Amino acid sequence: MMMKSSIFMRVFAGMVLVFLSAMSSVASNSEEDTLKRVQQAKYNAFTGNWEIRLNEEIRPLEAGFKNFLPGLDYVLVDEKMRDAGRNTLIFRGQGDTKVVIKLRTFGIFTKISIRIGLTGNQSKSAQLFSYVYRRM
């Protein structure tokens, strides 16, 4: 009896390891796809802007922010569209925190600038972008 349960446990552990390695390869592929689309991301401490350069069109990004930020308790209060390639979205969040998202098209890529509050918040900006981008 003891021998059969030992073999069963080894087979079960092997199947679990195969499953976990397959899941990690799927997760790394999605991360690689995201990194291919995100060309550059940097935080400017002087202005408080977190800037991302993406290989995406402006309209899906704009729709993504409009659709998914309300899920994080942010309300769209203003939208300023200068032309077809430039748009500014202003959201208000908890504690009347102002979030300004500027979208601008440069040829084949779009530049996104996110600022939270007056001075900016790098980690919160990165979290907002990540939340929206993964759901698009």
In this predicted model, what pLDDT tens digit does every residue of 30-86 receive, in sequence order? 544 544 456 678 888 888 898 988 888 888 888 898 998 888 889 999 999 888 889
Which of 19-23, 63-67, 120-124 is least confident? 19-23
Question: Which pLDDT does position 136 carry in this prediction?
Answer: 73
* Mean pLDDT across 119-123: 87
Please state whether the predicted TM-score (pTM) of the whole model is above 0.95: no
Count CB-CB contacts under 10 A for residue 54: 21
Question: Which pLDDT does position 112 carry in this prediction?
Answer: 92
Distance CA 105, CA 112 (A): 9
Q: With 90 as the cut, is the pLDDT of residue 114 above it?
A: yes
Cα 112-113-114 angle, rounded to 5 deg: 120
| Average pLDDT, rounded, for the chain | 78
Count CB-CB contacts under 10 A for residue 29: 10
- Helix-helix angle 122-135:58-68, to 10 degrees: 100
- Among 56, 78, 77, 79, smallest CA distance to 129 is for 56
**Cα distance from N-terminal residue to C-terminal residue, the chain:** 53
User: How sure is the predictor about 91, in pLDDT bands with cuts at 50, 70 and 90?
Assistant: very high
| pLDDT cut 90: percent of the chain above it | 22
Q: Which own/partner contact pairs does 127-130 have at CB distance under 8 Å and 24+ positions apart?
A: 128/69, 128/72, 128/99, 129/50, 129/52
Count CB-CB contacts under 10 A for residue 91: 23
CATH top-level class of 39-135: alpha beta
